[in-house]
């Protein structure tokens, strides 16, 4: 029967994306109703108030956490955003003992999952556990690596005087719900073994550098799962217990809760859970490039893919990273998180040799844009973990550590894009003066743009000064660099207008003769989804 449900999805994959998800989910439900619900009784895991492990075991789990990330990221790397549906089993994903080194040498940017994390690890190492958020923000904003989506906009905000938490707020960052912090929050769980609330606390200020709401929750949840992975090997318990840190009213919580429920009901075929998840949660309302497209970098759906891999992988390293990869979308970051969490559970020594052998070749090589190797990361994280254990009532004397465990508490409720719903994405493809006053119906809009530059163009210190007018009044003035890492893809976010017809225009006040700007698209927001215009006959 699982084979038939798999076939049902494959048969529909050439249809339009939302039709694909709807039809696949409908067919699967018909099939799934014939399947028996999970018959196994839930394993009852209760953490003791304190857990004692050897320092050697702690170090091995930390090594497994970082190595698991690298392995999962490498495995999924060739597939990233190549599939808007799940990746069929017929698609071969290669692996060999020199593959990680190849990516290190040829595409080092693949490991943004890791070197972004290491930015924060390094600040803790340099300034201590009480380092102010400004230190993390400045290290992040001034690092040499390229950024995308929420991270890119956050860097732009910080370099232009908008500091956290405002730099990650949806008011200033249209990517607030994107995956960015989810892939960077591993540090918080790794430095807080067994201490779930402490791990979550270390996500708050840093997570709001680039994200808000569901985007922050992605990092909260990942960090919480890492923390628990140090003190229990019960994966369903980890997934459920970590979810207690997320407000139950949030979309994020509801999605993860549904995934867990579908896994319990249909334990033998992850494709059913995948289809149901996409049908209910596969609609991106925030990311300007994700709305109304097959591209989805929203934290909610990609977090779901992490736990689909963990739950259906059942502790098998290959199945875990393979399923998280084959769920699609951000299919290097999701297996990186799943592989890191499972690597923590197993410890490095129990990761199968087939998967960890390529790690040995790179452990002393610094990640691109850093002076930190895996071996140095292991040491830094162990040092920080020992400090956090002591600070939170545990002990680290002798050859063992005693960790005081914590009962999870939910963080505050945050909701991005409150009162706003995307209803249209319109191509403009005109220079500001040709666009003139653009009329739209709604209460908000996001304008995207690009510069057209002669090559080479070497005015690195130049920033375009651009005024945005709404209904004839100056709404905002923005400075847009044409070069360097401090650029942005969105010219302006416009929110909280009275519902109705509005006119937007753009005035470039310091235009050089040899540069042009093109307004690419406008995403239009109303107070509710656009009505269906077709008659059902």
- Position 499 scores a pLDDT of 98
pLDDT band at 59 (very low <50, low <70, confident <90, very high): very high
- Give me 255's structure tokens: 């999605």
> Would you place residue 82 in the very low, low, confident or very high pLDDT band (cuts 50, 70, 90)?
confident
Predicted confidence at residue 534, as pLDDT, reads 79
Q: In Å, how far are 134, 256, 450 from 158, measured between CA atoms?
A: 10, 32, 20
Q: Which residue has the higher pLDDT, 221 or 457?
A: 221
- Statement: residue 150 has pLDDT above 70: yes
Q: Does residue 431 register a pLDDT over 90?
A: yes
Tell me how far apart the alpha carbons of residues 406 and 20 are, in angstroms, rounded to a whole number.
43
pLDDT at 109 exceeding the cut of 90: yes
Return d(Cα 258, Cα 303) in angstroms, integer. 12
CB 230 within 8 A of CB 344: yes
Residue 159 has pLDDT above 50, yes or no: yes
Beta strands in 304-443 (DSSP E): 400-404, 421-430, 438-442
> What pLDDT is stored for residue 43 in this prediction?
66
- 457: confidence class by pLDDT, cuts 50, 70, 90: low
**So where are the chain's domains?**
50-404, 421-526
Mean pLDDT of the region 54-60:
98
DSSP one-letter code for 286: S
Q: Give the range among 41-45, 441-445, 473-477 with minimum mean pLDDT.
A: 41-45
d(CA 464, CA 475): 17
Q: 50-404, what's its fold?
A: ADP-ribosylglycohydrolase fold (1.10.4080)
What the block records as the tokens of 496 is: 């909280």
pLDDT at 1 over 60: no
Lowest pLDDT segment from 60-74, 458-472, 516-530: 458-472
Q: Tokens standing for 398?
A: 């002798």
431 touches 518 (CB < 8 A): yes
Would you say 121 and 378 are in contact if contact means Cβ atoms under 8 Å apart?
no
Q: Are 237 and 216 in contact (CB under 8 A)?
A: no
Q: How far apart are CA 317 and CA 309, in angstroms?
A: 10
pLDDT band at 24 (very low <50, low <70, confident <90, very high): very low
Give me the count of residues in the chain: 537
Amino acid 27: pLDDT: 42
Confidence band of 92 (pLDDT split at 50, 70, 90): very high
Rg of the chain on CA atoms, in Å: 23
The average pLDDT across 311-318 equals 98
374-408 pLDDT, tens digit each: 999 999 999 999 999 999 999 999 999 999 999 99
Q: Which residues of 380-410 are buried (b: 16+ CB within 10 A; e: fewer)?
A: bbbebbbebbeebebebeeeebebebbebeb
What does the block give as tokens for 234? 């019960």
Q: DSSP alpha helices (H): ranges in 131-283?
A: 133-141, 149-159, 186-190, 196-210, 214-229, 235-243, 251-265, 270-281
Q: What is the pLDDT of residue 21?
A: 42
Instruction: Give the C-alpha separation, 218 to 185, whole Å.
Output: 8
Distance CA 345, CA 63 (A): 11
pLDDT > 70 fraction of the chain, expressed in percent and rounded: 91
Task: Quote the DSSP letter at residue 524.
Answer: E
Looking at per-residue pLDDT, the higher value among 82 and 242 belongs to 242
Phi, psi for 421 (deg, rounded to 5): -140, 130
Q: What average pLDDT does the segment 159-184 reach? A: 97
Mean pLDDT for 228-232 is: 98
Residue 196 CA to residue 242 CA, distance in Å, equals: 8
pLDDT at 305: 97
Q: So what's the pLDDT on residue 460?
A: 66
Domain 421-526, CATH class in plain words: mainly beta
The three-state DSSP-derived secondary structure of 144-159 is CCCCCHHHHHHHHHHH
Dihedral angle of Cα 507, 510, 514, 515, to the nearest 10 degrees: -50
Whether pLDDT at 36 is above 80? no
Residue 308 pLDDT? 98
Lowest mean pLDDT among 130-134, 221-225, 491-495, 526-530: 526-530
Most confidently predicted of 440-454, 492-506, 509-523: 492-506
394-399 contact pairs (CB < 8 A, 24+)? 394/50, 396/55, 399/54, 399/55, 399/56
The residue-averaged pLDDT of 286-298 equals 86
Token pair in block for residue 536: 């059902």
Per-residue pLDDT, 327: 96
Give the three-class secondary structure for 53.
strand
> Torsion over CA of 10, 16, 18 and 23, rounded to 10 degrees?
-40
Per-residue confidence at 7, pLDDT binned at 50, 70, 90?
very low
pLDDT digits (tens, 9 = 90+) for 324-338: 999 999 999 999 999
| Contact criterion met (CB below 8 Å) for 369 and 143 | yes
d(CA 363, CA 38): 41
- What is the rounded CA–CA span in Å between residue 298 and residue 427? 22
Helix then strand then coil, in percent of the chain rounded to 5, is 45, 15, 40
CA nearest 447: which of 473, 464, 429?
429
The SS3 assignment for 234 reads coil
pLDDT per position as a tens digit, 110-122: 999 999 999 999 9
Which of the residue ranges 260-269, 368-377, 507-516 would you say has the lowest mean pLDDT?
Answer: 507-516
Q: In whole angstroms, give the CA distance from residue 44 to residue 39.
A: 15
- The pLDDT assigned to 436 comes to 96
Q: Mean pLDDT, the chain, as a whole number?
A: 91
Question: With 80 as the cut, is the pLDDT of residue 180 above it?
Answer: yes
- Spatial CA neighbour of 200 closest among 160, 241, 163, 159: 241
């Amino acid at each position: 029967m699982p084979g038939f449900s798999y076939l049902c999805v494959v048969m529909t994959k050439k249809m339009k994306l939302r039709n694909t998800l709807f039809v696949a989910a409908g067919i699967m439900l018909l099939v799934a109703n014939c399947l028996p619900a999970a018959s196994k009784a839930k394993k009852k895991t209760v953490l003791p108030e304190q857990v004692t492990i050897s320092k050697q075991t702690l170090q091995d789990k930390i090594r497994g956490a970082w190595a698991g990330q690298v392995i999962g990221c490498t495995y999924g790397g060739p597939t990233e955003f190549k599939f808007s549906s799940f990746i069929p089993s017929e698609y071969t994903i290669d692996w060999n003992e020199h593959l990680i080194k190849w990516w290190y040498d040829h595409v080092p940017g693949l490991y943004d999952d890791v070197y972004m994390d290491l930015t924060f690890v390094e600040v803790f190492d340099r300034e201590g556990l009480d380092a102010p958020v400004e230190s993390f923000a400045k290290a992040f904003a001034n690092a040499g690596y390229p950024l995308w989506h929420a991270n890119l906009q956050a860097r732009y905000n910080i370099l232009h005087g908008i500091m956290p938490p405002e730099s990650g707020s949806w008011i200033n960052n249209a990517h607030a719900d994107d995956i960015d912090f989810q892939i960077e929050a591993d540090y918080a769980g790794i430095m807080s073994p067994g201490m779930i609330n402490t791990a979550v606390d270390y996500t708050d200020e840093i997570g709001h550098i680039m994200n808000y709401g569901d985007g922050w929750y992605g990092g909260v949840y990942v960090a919480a799962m890492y923390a628990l992975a140090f003190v229990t090997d019960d994966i369903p318990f980890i997934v459920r217990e970590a979810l207690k840190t997320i407000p139950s009213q949030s979309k994020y919580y509801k999605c993860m809760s549904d995934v867990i429920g579908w896994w319990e009901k249909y334990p033998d075929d992850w494709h059913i859970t995948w289809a149901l998840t996409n049908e209910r949660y596969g609609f991106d309302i925030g990311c300007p490039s994700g709305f109304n497209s097959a591209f989805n970098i929203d934290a909610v759906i990609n977090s779901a893919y992490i736990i689909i891999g963990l739950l259906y992988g059942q502790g098998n390293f290959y199945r875990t990273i393979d399923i998280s990869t084959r769920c699609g979308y951000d299919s290097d970051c999701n297996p990186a998180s799943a592989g890191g969490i499972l690597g923590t559970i197993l410890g490095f020594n129990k990761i199968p040799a087939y998967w960890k052998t390529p790690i040995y070749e790179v452990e002393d090589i610094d990640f691109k844009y850093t002076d930190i190797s895996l071996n140095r990361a292991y040491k830094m994280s162990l040092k920080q973990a020992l400090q956090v254990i002591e600070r939170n009532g545990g002990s680290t004397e002798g050859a063992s550590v005693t960790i005081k465990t914590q009962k999870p508490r939910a963080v505050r409720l945050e909701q991005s894009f409150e009162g706003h719903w995307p209803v249209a994405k319109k191509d403009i493809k005109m220079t500001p003066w040709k666009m003139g006053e653009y009329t739209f119906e709604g209460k908000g809009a996001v304008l995207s743009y690009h510069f057209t530059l002669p090559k080479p163009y070497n005015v690195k210190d130049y920033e375009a000064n651009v005024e945005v007018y709404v209904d004839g009044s100056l709404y905002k003035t923005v400075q847009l660099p044409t070069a360097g890492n401090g650029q942005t893809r969105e010219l302006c976010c416009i929110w909280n207008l009275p519902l109705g017809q509005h006119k937007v225009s753009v005035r470039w006040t310091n235009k050089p003769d040899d540069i042009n700007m093109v307004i690419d698209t406008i995403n239009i927001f109303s107070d509710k989804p656009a009505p269906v215009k077709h008659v059902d006959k």
